[in-house]
Chain A
Amino acid sequence: MGLLLEAGVADAIRAHGVETYPNECCGALYGRDGVVMATFALPNTTEEGPRRRFLVRPQDYRDAETRATAMGADLLGFYHSHPDHPARPSQYDLDHAWPFFSYVIVSVKAGVPEDMTSWRLQDDRSAFDQENLTHA
């Protein structure tokens, strides 16, 4: 199991993380069969403090699925940034994770993007598995 980011995808995720720093960014991943062809930036609507949380509202989620259909692609998952924290999922990430989706996390330290990782929820919801992340 792995995720391949086509050219420009990783740069778009990093740029979004830098743009919103010191707040978290979030967005949707589109593609097919483990290949991310495009991203779409989404508003971080959390009311719990955007430096440490992100939230995609149900209406924005619905729009994200509709956009996938219009593109002839699948919604493969979501990305978000961890400002000044490692690119590793938190307990909060785990508690709110959906199966099937890839969760790409980019660490942004002092405004500079660093590690990028991808994770998938285990079937029993007990933990994430890190998946191999490659760039075209």
Chain B
Amino acid sequence: MPNTIHIPTPLRPFTDKKESVEVSGATVGELLKDLTTRHDGLKKHLYTDDGRLRNFVNVYLNDEDIRYLQKEQTPVKPGDSLSIVPSVAGGAISPTPQAEAEGGLS
């Protein structure tokens, strides 16, 4: 029985608009790796350049945050499902170089 990963709205353009993708693997990390192998465009949005999950990317195994399990080493069973759930964050501090160049902060 394959595993499924639920894809949030902003990542669906990279999964042919699919809300969930079937993947296989023995750990959370292997499932995510299978996902990014099948849908290459996802990798840079999920992982930093040094290969760590971005801190605003939340991954749930069934309904448990993997940070409170064994993170990406958490073993998975056939039929388990993963969900990628965004934290959405931002704020006014520190303009981008782009904004500064355009006369950003007043």
Contact = CB atoms under 8 A, between A and B. Distances in A.
Whether chains A and B associate is: yes
Interface of A: 24, 26, 46, 48, 52-58, 61-62, 65, 68, 74-75, 78, 80, 82-86, 88-94, 96-101, 103, 123-125, 127-128
Contact of B89 (A46, A75, A124, A128): A46
B96 A99 contact: no
Contacts of B11: 98-100
B78 interface: no
A109 B8 CA distance: 34
Contacts of A80: 90-91
Contacts of A54: 89-91
Interface string B39-75: 0010011000000000010101000010000000000
Contact of A93 (B14, B41, B60, B90): B90
Interface of B: 8-14, 41, 44-45, 56, 58, 60, 65, 85-96, 98-99, 102, 104-106
Given A88-B99, A100-B10, A58 B94 contact: no
A58 to B, nearest CB: 4
B90 A57 contact: no
A8 to B, nearest CB: 23
Given A99-B13, A125-B45, A127-B98, A83 B86 contact: no
Given A54-B90, A92-B90, A92-B93, A99 B8 contact: no
A128 B95 CA distance: 12
The 3 closest A-B pairs by CB, nearest first: A53-B91, A85-B92, A98-B10
A48 B91 CA distance: 10
A48 B9 CA distance: 26
B9 A90 contact: no
A99 B86 CA distance: 11
